[in-house]
Amino acid sequence: MTPNPAAPLLLFDSGVGGLSVLGKVRALLPQAPVMYVSDNAGLPYGTKTEAQIAARVSGLLGRLTERFRPRLVCIACNTASTIALASVREVLEVPIVGTVPAIKPAAAMTQTGVIGLLGTEATIRQGYVDRLEAEFAAGKRLLRHGAPELVAAAEAKLRGQPVDAAVFARAAAALRAMPDGERIDTVVLACTHFPLLEAELAQAFGPGVRFVDGSDGIARRIAFLTAGQAWERSPQGDLALFTNDDPADALLGPALARYGLTQRLVF
């Protein structure tokens, strides 16, 4: 069945982290209508249980797809994807693209064989990450650190609020303090919030460290799944939906507009 040209790509995240994915999607598919959904009422996901996350994500995406009829759903959140991707695919009848830690490209990039992984506390403990490590980083050393402070830092940065540089120093120091941590030359940003902070993290880690995330691969996958489809964007711009009416979200206006999201509603 040919999608309605105005049917959007739905990008879902716990907050504004998925904007790092949207930026890459825009580069490949500039004419695609997009609906960006921030579950700010549920933020942060990283401190929740697997059962809470799976139920929340499945329920929200079920209601969103029923109401807005997107042509494709992208779960632009590592935590939600590693926990809920399979269950969401079982209940939704639209293509689903998830976000997983970029361990495979990191393993190909590293020269020292020691890779750092920064994610939420929920992501780094998942068996999904264990399987990625076993499949793609066998013979390498993968050091994981849960850095919830970085989620809050990215949210603050996009609102134009000050962020203490010590947040980035602590994340770098935690990985460096692990066995062989001083040999880290590649860091996986396993939360979509974290690429929004790459410049600050690069300064904290110092020279000789490269960063990798999954956003390029996600954008290519979305482009592949929608190849040949017609697009029709609204002249008013694209829509950002929030699950909580937080007055502080008004501060996101300029950041959202940079990604073409000029309309903001509460779902």
Query: In the chain, what are the domains?
Result: 9-99+216-266 (3.40.50.1860), 103-213 (3.40.50.1860)
Instruction: Give per-residue pLDDT as tens, 127-137.
Output: 999 999 999 99
Could you list the pLDDT tens digit for every one of the 267 residues in the chain? 778 999 999 999 999 999 999 999 999 999 999 999 999 999 899 889 999 999 999 999 999 999 999 999 999 999 999 999 999 999 899 999 999 999 999 999 999 999 999 999 999 999 999 999 999 999 999 999 999 999 999 999 999 999 999 999 999 999 999 999 999 999 999 999 999 999 999 999 999 999 999 999 999 999 999 999 999 998 888 999 999 998 888 899 999 999 999 999 998
DSSP alpha helices (H): ranges in the chain? 19-28, 50-68, 78-91, 103-109, 121-124, 127-136, 148-158, 166-176, 198-205, 215-225, 253-258
Given the residues 77, 88, 100, 106, the one annotated as active site? 77
In the residue annotation, 74 being an active-site residue is answered as no
C-alpha–C-alpha distance, residues 200 and 167, integer Å: 10
Tell me the β-bridge partners of 221. Answer: none
Q: DSSP label at 30? A: T
Cα radius of gyration (the chain): 18
Given the residues 191, 212, 256, 261, the one annotated as active site? 191
Instruction: Give per-residue pLDDT as tens, 85-130.
Output: 999 999 899 999 999 999 999 999 999 999 999 999 999 999 999 9
Give the torsion through C-alpha atoms of 46, 241, 101, 43, to 10 deg: -10
Tell me the β-bridge partners of 13. Answer: 38
Question: Which strand (E) or helix (H) includes residue 135?
Answer: helix 127-136
Write phi, then psi, for 45 (nearest 5 degrees).
-75, -30
Of the candidates 226, 233, 242, the one whose C-alpha atom is nearest the C-alpha of residue 260 is 233
> In the prediction, which pLDDT does 135 show?
97
Q: Tell me the helix, strand and coil percentages in the chain, rounded to 5.
A: 45, 20, 35
Question: Which strand (E) or helix (H) includes residue 224?
Answer: helix 215-225
Which residue in the block uniquely carries the two structure tokens 């739905």?
Answer: 10
C-alpha–C-alpha distance, residues 168 and 198, integer Å: 10
C-alpha–C-alpha distance, residues 226 and 229, integer Å: 6
> In the prediction, which pLDDT does 221 show?
97
Sheet containing strand 186-190, strands side by side: 141-146, 114-119, 186-190, 210-212
> In the prediction, which pLDDT does 92 show?
93
Q: How many residues does the chain have?
A: 267
> In the prediction, which pLDDT does 47 show?
86
Which residue in the block uniquely carries the two structure tokens 């609204």?
Answer: 234
Tell me the β-bridge partners of 97. Answer: 74
Structure tokens at 126: 């998942």
Of the candidates 93, 156, 83, the one whose C-alpha atom is nearest the C-alpha of residue 120 is 83
> In the prediction, which pLDDT does 2 show?
77
Question: Which strand (E) or helix (H) includes residue 25?
Answer: helix 19-28
> In the prediction, which pLDDT does 236 show?
83
pTM of the model: 0.93
